[in-house]
Copies of this chain bind each other. A is one copy, B any other.
């Protein structure tokens, strides 16, 4: 995390880029005006000349990463494209775990701010191409979008634990064992699925969920 020389002039883009690097390295607490000015070799006032405040910077960082994840090849199969977008977002959140909390916070601040409509648009366009009734488009797109963020967030949270040098198989075993030892009166379900957790593949499991929702969407009027 060595501070860079200030070769080029400061710009909104360079600031956002530096912010993303700091967020990736240390999560949300890694991004402060102190760490940011050190990395950019400048003063806090210089940042404020290009960016109105920290929330706007976080919003920009989020939008920048999401935009990168939403670009998908046209394959002619809306179902495949939805799976590709879902996997792209899943991997973006995997690489930038701070994204999932940020998306939630930003949603609560401005419901239809920059990130949400783009994601809705990208997925919704393919949903509408599935050939299901128009009345179901909004609900279907919501279900897919929320599942993607929720599942990806859960996965990113798990992945963080593994960052601490913990071995993956070891972690899953430990989690499964812990679940199996839960009180059977209070947590019978958690106990029963402990075995499944032990050796599942995150991406495969995630895509199975996407398929489950796609099945629900097309169950009554196949496209």
Assess the B125–A189 pair: CB atoms within 8 A.
yes
Assess the B108–A143 pair: CB atoms within 8 A.
no
Assess the B143–A213 pair: CB atoms within 8 A.
yes
Nearest CB of chain B from residue A180's CB, rounded to whole Å: 13
Interface hub of A109, A139, A196 (most chain B Cβ within 10 A): A139
Q: How many residues of A contact B (CB 8 A)?
A: 68
Assess the B216–A137 pair: CB atoms within 8 A.
no
Assess the B193–A138 pair: CB atoms within 8 A.
yes
Stretch at the interface among A10-18, A57-65, A152-160: A152-160
Q: A147 contacts which chain B residues (CB < 8 A)?
A: 142-143, 146-147, 150
Assess the B138–A196 pair: CB atoms within 8 A.
yes
Nearest CB of chain B from residue A117's CB, rounded to whole Å: 6
> Is the C-beta of A3 less than 8 angstroms from some C-beta in chain B?
no
Q: Could you tell me which A residues sit within 8 Å of B by CB distance?
A: 27, 97-98, 100-101, 103-105, 107-112, 116-117, 120-121, 124-125, 127-128, 134-143, 145-147, 149-151, 153-154, 156-158, 160-161, 175, 182, 186-190, 192-193, 196-197, 200, 205, 208-209, 212-217, 219-220
Closest 4 CB pairs of A and B: A146-B150, A216-B216, A124-B189, A104-B104
